[in-house]
Amino acid sequence: MTPAFDVVLVGGGGAGLRAAIAIAETAPRLRVAVVSKVYPMRSHTVSAEGGAAGVIAADDSLDEHCYDTISGGDWLGDQDAIEAFVREAPQELLRLEHWGCPWSREPDGRIAVRPFGGMKKQRTWFAADKTGFHMLHTLFQTSLKHLSVFRYDEWFVTKLLVDDGIVQGVVALELATGRIEAITARAVILCTGGCGKVFPFTTNAAIKTGDGMALAYRAGAPLKDMEFVQYHPTGLPFTGILITEAARAEGGYLINKDGYRYLQDYALGTPQPKPVLRSMELGPRDRLSQAFVKEFEKGRTIPTPYGHVVHLDLRHLGAQVINTKIPFVRELCLKYQNIDPVTDLIPVRPVIHYMMGGVSTDIDGATPLPGLYAAGEVACVSINGANRLGSNSLPELLVFGARAGKAAADYAMRARDPDAAVLTQLKDERRRVEGELLRPHGHERIADLRDAMQSAMEESAGIYRTDASLRRGVATLRELQARAMDVHVEDDSRTFNTERVAVLELQCMLDVAECIVNAALAREESRGAHQRTDFPERDDVRFLAHSLTARQPDGSCGVSYLPVTITRWPPAERVYGEAPAYAGTSELRSHHAAGRAVPSGERV
Amino acid sequence: MVLDGLNYVKDHLDGTLSYRWSCRMGICGSCGMMVNGEPKLTCATFLADYAPGPVRVEPLRNFPVIRDLIVDLGDFMGKLVRVKPWIIRQSEKPLSDGEYLQTPDEMDEYKQFAMCINCMLCYAACPIYGLDPKFIGPAAIALAQRYNLDNRDEGAAERMNILSEHDGIWGCTFVGECTKVCPKHVDPAGAIQRYKLQSALDWVKSFVMPRAAV
């Protein structure tokens, strides 16, 4: 049977749109569909603020970006992937410039770069502090000129069609009408983003429910490094709205209740009036979030009705810098916290921000399941290792969105047509989604189950974890899975039934949450964002390895391990503060990044 | 926020209530609704401002309603494509030649029009769109202008053909409601006025200097 499309993309955020454009440009004859549960310009890429890293400055080098990323990820990232990522990031950012992205500029009209956490050089491209918004709208608007890209806006994918181990399309629910259809394809790329909503306090939008991770997991594709969940150190209390790292890059201080820049007590350097790269407030996010917990334990945080906070002090920057470099920070503080950062301290606390783990892929976005690809936050290639550096995720979705798009297009051109028998799965899925979910027969409230899951995740798999906390988490989630079978749906309409979507999302989140706690329980060491108080040291002998969580025949979650690829940077200690960060590994080579010659490394 | 109120109703009182929302920080553009008769982003509108209430929340005006507070955006999505909101150039510079230079002043020319989040509040406020749904509307015109004023773009003439049709800029009688309700301080009314002026000049030029007009 001829499939409806050559490639189906699930998700229309940055990664999905970049992949769609890559296919449209390199293989314009292929028919591409973007299936998204929201209109593409509503995707969560829109909320990214600070910037996108890509080597462009004359004093920078590709090797230094590699080293910062590898050490920032506590040596868990695959170095071959990181090298490809760092090499291609400047080209991708430049391509976006050619498509109209309003990158902030130097007075002479060249691209400007700013410092960012964990980065030893200034290499973060930015569009004021609405970088993700501008990138997403540029990608979306650019995608509109490609007629080979067909969109299914507001269609929720409920299942991957898998025949004989080969992925051949999706089943999706049209929200407006409630109809459920198969969308067959030779290849599917998951670009659904992260899963922050499995936790109660997150910067993530309401739509970030781990759908793509759950789809892959249920279809038999393993998830990689799911125990690594990033807390961003500066979220607004109560709302969890992100205050971008750019606020610290521009010179903001983090202070405790005594007005003391407490990061100096946690091996992050000594305070200087101006920002110092890879030091203090520009340390990596995992270390900064962990320092907050230590300050709390010392009684040096500030209690508020919405939990303890520390303060982010931007007052010394002045209105001019704040208005030009980080205007959205001011807008958000005024609107959602009723304070003005020009004159007031900003209360902040760590907040769930990003998923390092995801659907396990190779360097071209391919999963172990033939026909299934993934890119962006939903995927784990892995370049982020145990802790992502700020401003690496936006170039990641471009680089690996493009790579996955091209790889899926290549595959689609030689893959065989799907067997019509695959459509029998549509009937089963219709029965599940219509029959089971439209009957108001259950007793459990969706909101109750969601709240219970989120509390269980925060208590068991927060910034610091233990064997006991994680075992409780595993047990609670098993129980919630059972309770979710008895969920109550009041809404029996087929027209835009958001309650039915909420149940589908809850089911996805529960699967993803189980993977997180099981992977965290199995990793008996502390590395990056995964901190076990019962195993406080990094253990390279046992755990210099990626975890793979895969669904077992009995429905439980099995954990196995995959070696980490080390190319030129053997595991070493992570050093922040004044110590020289990078001593180089290889001879000097020159590269052409974003139209400018930059060295690839420093001579040793 | 008004949105928090809706979420409370959905989670605890009536699970069937249907509306769109996502980022809850005023950037994704999903949650536009009429609040006491005015188009608002509900995630950025304080309930306290309407104390002691009650607050009346309705679907965005001027759009077909799909259900409850959810309106049909299909019309705008079609219009967005029509104004060709992408960089149009005669020739592309290769990536190896680096970036197109653009000074901060050149960026300021178009930047405000690039801040549109497609939230549709301006369409809900626009009395012309309410009467004539063929009117291409404030956000689409502002986005066309966003590219026209970008020094990297050469597509203004192509877009002018679409915008100077009857349903384009000439539909607007400059009421200015669109600019007033924009949560991102975009000035669609200004974009439309600039366009009209440009279009009129082109028209005059076509008589005075036939070869100079584009």
- Digit-coded pLDDT (tens) for A36-64: 999 999 999 999 998 999 999 999 999 99
User: What does residue A358 show for φ and ψ, rounded to 5 degrees?
Assistant: 165, -165
pLDDT in tens, A179-199: 999 999 999 999 999 999 999
Chain B environment of A105 (Cβ under 8 Å) = 102-104, 107
Tell me whether residues A109 and B30 touch, CB distance under 8 A.
no
pLDDT at residue A88 greater than cutoff 50? yes
Write out the two tokens for A453. Answer: 């899951």
Identify the pLDDT of residue A579.
58
- Give the pLDDT mean for A511-531: 98
| Distance of alpha carbon A8 from alpha carbon A189, whole angstroms | 6
| Residues within 8 A of A (CB atoms), B 134-173 only | 143, 147, 150, 152-153
pLDDT tier at A599 (50, 70, 90 boundaries)? low
pLDDT tier at B209 (50, 70, 90 boundaries)? low
pLDDT tier at A604 (50, 70, 90 boundaries)? very low
**Mean pLDDT of the residues in chain B:** 91
Residue B26 and residue B43 in contact, taking contact as beta carbons nearer than 8 Å: yes
Identify the pLDDT of residue B202.
76
In angstroms, how far is CA A101 from the centroid of its own chain? 21
Q: How far is A360 from chain B (nearest CA, A)?
A: 27
* Predicted interface score ipTM higher than 0.85: yes
B28 has a chain A CB within 8 A of its CB = yes
pLDDT at residue A438 greater than cutoff 90? no
Residue A154 and residue A207 in contact, taking contact as beta carbons nearer than 8 Å: no
Tell me whether residues B24 and A241 touch, CB distance under 8 A.
yes
Print burial letters for A78-116: b (CB count within 10 Å at least 16), e (below 16).
bbbbbbbbbbbbbbbbbbbbbbbbbbbbeeebbbbbbbb
pLDDT in tens, A102-113: 999 999 999 999
Show the beta-strand stretches assigned E in A200-293. 223-224, 229-235, 253-255
Cα nearest neighbour of B78 on chain A: A144
pLDDT tier at B105 (50, 70, 90 boundaries)? very high
Minimal Cβ distance to B25: which of A47, A100, A445: A47
| Distance of alpha carbon A130 from alpha carbon B197, whole angstroms | 31
Helices (runs of H) and strands (runs of E) counted in chain B: 9, 5
Helix (H, G, I), strand (E, B) or coil at A491: coil
Residues forming a β-bridge with A358: A224
**CA proximity to A64, closest of A250, A276, A284, A278:** A278
Helix (H, G, I), strand (E, B) or coil at A596: strand
Identify the pLDDT of residue A472.
98
Which H or E run includes B33? strand B32-35
**pTM confidence score:** 0.95
pLDDT at residue A436 greater than cutoff 80? no
Collect all residues with Cβ–Cβ distance below 8 Å to A527 and sequence separation of at least 6: A74, A76, A386, A538, A543
| Distance of alpha carbon A6 from alpha carbon A13, whole angstroms | 20
Cα nearest neighbour of A242 on chain B: B25
| Distance of alpha carbon A451 from alpha carbon B12, whole angstroms | 12
pLDDT tier at B214 (50, 70, 90 boundaries)? very low
Collect all residues with Cβ–Cβ distance below 8 Å to A298 and sequence separation of at least 6: none
- Give the pLDDT mean for A334-340: 93
User: What does residue A155 show for φ and ψ, rounded to 5 degrees?
Assistant: -115, 130
| Residues of A recognised as catalytic | 232, 248
- On the CB side of A541, CA atoms within 13 Å amount to 1
Q: How far is B116 from chain A (nearest CA, A)?
A: 9
User: What does residue B93 show for φ and ψ, rounded to 5 degrees?
Assistant: -85, 135
Identify the pLDDT of residue B195.
80
Write out the two tokens for B139. Answer: 């956000």
Size of interface A-B (CB pairs under 8 A): 155
Residue A403 and residue A378 in contact, taking contact as beta carbons nearer than 8 Å: no
pLDDT at residue A601 greater than cutoff 60? no
| Distance of alpha carbon A378 from alpha carbon A515, whole angstroms | 14
- On the CB side of A123, CA atoms within 13 Å amount to 36
User: A393-414 vs A79-98: helix axis angle to the nearest 10?
Assistant: 100
Helix (H, G, I), strand (E, B) or coil at A527: strand
How far CA A246 is from CA of A116, A352, A390, B39, B111, in Å, comes to: 7, 18, 9, 32, 20
B49 has a chain A CB within 8 A of its CB = no
Show the beta-strand stretches assigned E in A246-382. 253-255, 310-313, 346-355, 358-360, 372-374, 379-380
- Give the pLDDT mean for B126-130: 92
- In eight-state DSSP terms, residue A535 is B
Minimal Cβ distance to B16: which of A133, A137, A499: A499
| Residues within 8 A of A (CB atoms), B 173-202 only | none
Chain A environment of B152 (Cβ under 8 Å) = 98, 100
- Give the pLDDT mean for A322-328: 92
* Sole residue written with tokens 């067997």: A419
| Distance of alpha carbon A136 from alpha carbon A21, whole angstroms | 13
Residue A550 and residue A558 in contact, taking contact as beta carbons nearer than 8 Å: yes
Q: How far is B171 from chain A (nearest CA, A)?
A: 24
* Sole residue written with tokens 């009857």: B166
Cα nearest neighbour of A202 on chain B: B23
Identify the pLDDT of residue A591.
58
**CA proximity to A44, closest of A377, A509, A396:** A377
pLDDT tier at A580 (50, 70, 90 boundaries)? low
pLDDT in tens, A303-321: 999 999 999 999 999 999 9
- On the CB side of B156, CA atoms within 13 Å amount to 17
Tell me whether residues B67 and A137 touch, CB distance under 8 A.
no
Residues forming a β-bridge with A557: A551
How far CA A541 is from CA of A228, A525, A544, A564, in Å, comes to: 19, 10, 7, 12
Residue B7 and residue B20 in contact, taking contact as beta carbons nearer than 8 Å: no
Least confident of A377-381, B102-106, B159-163: B159-163
Helix (H, G, I), strand (E, B) or coil at A223: strand
Q: What percent of chain A has pLDDT over 90?
A: 91
Least confident of A126-135, A234-243, B131-140, B202-211: B202-211
Chain B environment of A498 (Cβ under 8 Å) = 10, 18-19
